[in-house]
A and B are shown apart, each in its own frame.
Chain A
Amino acid sequence: MPRLRLGRRTASGGGWKGVPVSGVRVLVGTRKGAFVLNSDGKRERWDVSGPHFAGWEIYHVKGSPADPDRLFASQCSGWFGQLIQRSDDGGRTWEPVGNRFSYDGEPGTHQWYDGTPHPWEFARVWHLEPSLGDPDTVYAGVEDAGLFRSADGGQSWQELPGLRCHGSGASWQPGAGGMCLHTIIEDPGAPGRMFAAISAAGAFRSDDAGQSWRPVNRGLHSEGIPDDDAEVGHCVHRIAMHPARPQVLYMQKHWDVMRSDDSGESWHEVSGNLPTDFGFPIDVHAHEPDTVYVVPITSDSLHYPPEGKLRVYRSRAGGDDWEALTTGLPQEHCYVNVLRDAMAVDSLDDCGVYFGTTGGQVYASADAGDSWAPIVRDLPAVLSVEVQTLS
């Protein structure tokens, strides 16, 4: 069984040096299936397998940090609903596991777009977060927003209702893409501490392994809601953490790139010189907790890069000061989007950065973003990208 190298959201960011690398595996979810890309440590040639689950929407595929051969995939369809697939051999074969996501108790209502109460209804699993330490434990973030947990490798799912039943739940409203719970982060430095983010409710923190939750949105400001610094109602698009410095969180919000230095207790804006602070993904360099990546998107009504130029922006200062990374990326006539779960990093010595586009390209950089090349192109629209560094 290959071992996962220490790195992103697994343990200390140190400890990678000198560990032999057998390869890098990129897990891609698209509108019409999943793809698994494998390369050796040079990351020059990629073997592409797929589509797995052809024709189905694959919102997310992610591997277990505790057993990298164990992968989970969220497979769904507007016609046939939700399935969860599991692989125990690194994506070569898959088996369906449990797909029953029942809210705990009487689910009640949240707000609909027009402000009226709307029954809580399960639609799909947006995000699967395998536990840091146990390959049988995996969390699922779903639409309508809820957090589920499986302790038996995905065979059965139980809601952690403390989040949805937080006192503000009845006031949550969906974002344009639905009321999705899209971010789940376990804090490797504080056992029991977890973060979750919901569009468009905001960020939440638990200090008791998901049993109870409280909003952690102080400092977020959202124009267009009655109280622009309300406790909830903020359209958080993505949160990222470096495992070596878990008290620092980075957030790409609907508008604004934000940073917290105190585990979400407060946030401050670090958009700095970005050409636009709208976007979806955000991620952190595997070995440099102050190096952050975003992909600015023109606006909430123009979901493509400014000026038709696809640019990743990197800050080496934990925000505020950003540089455009353009080498190898299309700098004209590019009107794709990069969705919130579609960026990831590997943990090789020269940190690799990967992202997928709604145009079906997956771009990779083997030099921390200095230069880019597509490792596959012309896939269906990419919904998610995850990376495993195998040793």
Chain B
Amino acid sequence: MIRVVLPAHLRTLTQAGGEVELEVAGQVTQRSVLDALEARYPVLRGTIRGHDGGPRRAFVRFFACEQDLSHEQPDAPLPAAVATGAEPYLIVGAMAGG
């Protein structure tokens, strides 16, 4: 079971709680997690990354296990702690402004 934490505005869209639990078949990567997330919540398509698995939106960041994974390859395996559900995968709206 993969645990995903969404930013507030996307939680509103999904009407999900603070944390979403997903089953991910095969290797647990950022791509497979986002694919599963978008399959569960189609409203999220285009809000985190481009349609059809396109690039991450500029002001969205990915974190897990105290690491910034935003620039990792989408098919790179996520940390084991994420794959086992011990740690959540965090989707974060980047803080921007002055």
Looking at the assembled complex, report how far the CB atom of A244 sits from the nearest CB atom of chain B, in whole angstroms: 40
CA distance A80 to B7 in the complex (A): 10
Can you identify 29 A-B contacts, CB atoms within 8 angstroms? A53-B12, A54-B12, A55-B8, A55-B9, A55-B12, A56-B9, A77-B9, A78-B96, A79-B7, A79-B9, A79-B57, A79-B59, A79-B60, A80-B9, A80-B47, A80-B57, A80-B93, A81-B46, A81-B47, A82-B46, A83-B13, A83-B47, A96-B13, A96-B43, A99-B45, A99-B47, A100-B45, A100-B46, A102-B51
The residue in B7, B12, B13 that gathers the most chain A C-beta atoms within 10 A of its C-beta is B13
B16-42: CB near A (< 8 Å → 1, else 0) gives 000000000000000000000000000
- Mostly helix, strand, loop or mixed at chain A's interface? loop
Binding site for A on B (CB under 8 A): 7-10, 12-13, 43, 45-48, 51, 57, 59-60, 93-94, 96
Contact partners of B47 in chain A: CB under 8 A? 80-81, 83, 99
User: Which B residues are in CB contact (< 8 Å) with A99?
Assistant: 45-47
Contact flags (1/0) for A67-107 with B, using CB distance below 8 Å?
A: 00000000001111111000000000000100110100000
Given contacts A80-B47, A80-B57, 14 further A-B contacts (CB under 8 A): A55-B8, A79-B7, A79-B9, A79-B93, A80-B9, A81-B47, A81-B57, A82-B46, A83-B13, A83-B46, A96-B13, A99-B45, A99-B46, A100-B46
Q: Which size bracket describes the interface of A in this complex? A: 10 to 19
A79 to B13, CA, bound (A): 14
Give the docked Cα–Cα distance between A82 and B45 (Å): 10
Is there an interface contact between A80 and B48, defined as CB atoms closer than 8 Å? yes
